[in-house]
Structure 1
Amino acid sequence: MITTTQVNQYKEKGYLVIPDLFSKEEIAALRKETADIFRGKRGVVEGMIDTDDDISDEEVLKKYVAIHFPHKISPVIYKALFHKGVIDVLNGIIGPDVKCMQSMLFVKGPGKAGQSWHQDEFYIPTRDRSLTGVWIAIDDANVENGCLWIIPGKPGYIMRRVENSSKEYADVDTVDVTRFDKDSIPVEVKSGSVVFFHGYTLHSSLRNKTDDCFRTALVNHYMSADSMLPWDQDGHLPATEDLRDIVLVSGKDPYVWKGTVDLNKPYLRPEKLIIKTTI
């Protein structure tokens, strides 16, 4: 169970690392499922390339960056949303009632660019600032293969986004973190470890500079079920005061009377990323 010290660290620093939260067997299942998803064995997603069975998993994965909403087509990923260790931590930092609205499966292969500095609440707004990212390391993540970088402590507001000029990132925009340069730290973790970070916490990742290492990670987003979710999925869905394409993972849903919908569909993340920008 999560301790009071860990809860306080999350509140003060905006992130928390729990080593070995997933067992080796659970990670092995996620790794196999990752290959099966990108081979089209869980359903063909627009943009997927037909591959022969004699091509290695590594060669298949090198063709992609990430897939959004894999839990929509994968029973293994869907089950991972409810992982007991993850839910125990979320109950400590969010509360007893928790819902999930997004999953993302990253397969950052050799040479692939990273994500620029950002705050997740810029993209997924909650009414109570309860958004929490759950970053599950399927591979070891280190500086060389493009681990997370975090600036401890979370600003109390959403910072302005500016044009990105760094080739480290795939995004067209970023947050200017010049004044925080000395505070940013790499979050190097072993396979099976999980990084929890607040929706206002500044984080990024650099390019994978290795020749033969992947940095595969499953990233799920959760929030308090007590809060409504005014998210239009970056303009892909009609504007709403409460998106009900959610999965209740813990406790009770006070809006159960609204029912749920299935609007978001799995899609491949492009190499050049233009999700939502104010530039």
Structure 2
Amino acid sequence: MSEFDVAVIGAGPAGLSAALGLVRSRRTVLLIDSNRPRNAATLRSHGFLTRDGVPPLELRKLGREEFEGYPGASFHAGLVQSVRALQGGGFELAARGIRGAANLEVTVGNIVVATGLVETMPSVPSLRAWYGTDLHSCVECDGYEKRDEALALIGESADLAERALLISQWSNDLIVFTNGADAVSAAEQEALGARGIAVERRPIADVVGEQGRMTGVLLADGETVPREAGFVRPAWTPAIGYLDGLGIALDAEGLIAVDACGRTSVPGVYAAGDSTAPGPEQLIIAAGHGAQVAAALNRDLLGPLLPV
């Protein structure tokens, strides 16, 4: 017998939404989280209906309070270290407690993975200093706040031109910085140029600013290109090292492969949110995915209506 019907790992919008849907379905739910989201540097989150502009940590706090208001809800402050499949079904989960919480070892019937992504930034020394204020990674989340500014797009990935096209919706003063990488083809550069978007291929020395505001991109040859703000394209990988022993299948993007309802290749393991599919990384989309996974998992737990 498992101690909980479901463990939800990660209390961002996807995990909170899944946990809320499951506990409202009268399932016993253990929610585990370290409260270290990758959007913690962002002062305001946007695009979440009725919560536009709320600080990300405040949104998480509100969601957790709602979840914990139900009888079947349990929360543990911790970092999941390992998940082991048990013979006959279910999983043994081990977590290291944080902020005074004890270490945890528990058996659960099912798991929802909602730990999101790990970001690896381009190798620019002071980039992190501007991240969350003048530089952002989610265009849909923060594009409106950077409207009509002189913007930079810094990245080294093959989708840089497509992201530049999207950013041009908010500003007609945009320069793409590839940091010396061959990330924009000649044809893409020509197409961007026809839309008034410049491509700067020289390596970057740093992002510079004065009095707490970004003022430009310093190139390796000493020239500073004036810029007021912008976007960065990190490399994203799912934060799922604790699942290494389960053999969960990944897709071509290196994300968790799931079906339309969030089921992974391992029975009893579901996934929701940014770790599962490329696309707009908006909080409201992650929350919707979490709700969808909760509904599917709850139905799966009921088993077939008729004998098989």
Shared fold per TM-score greater than 0.5: no
Q: Which has the higher contact order (CA 8 A, sep 6+)?
A: 1
The structure having more radius of gyration, on CA atoms, is 2
TM-score computed with the length of structure 1 as normaliser: 0.25
TM-score computed with the length of structure 2 as normaliser: 0.23
Indicate the structure with greater strand content: 2
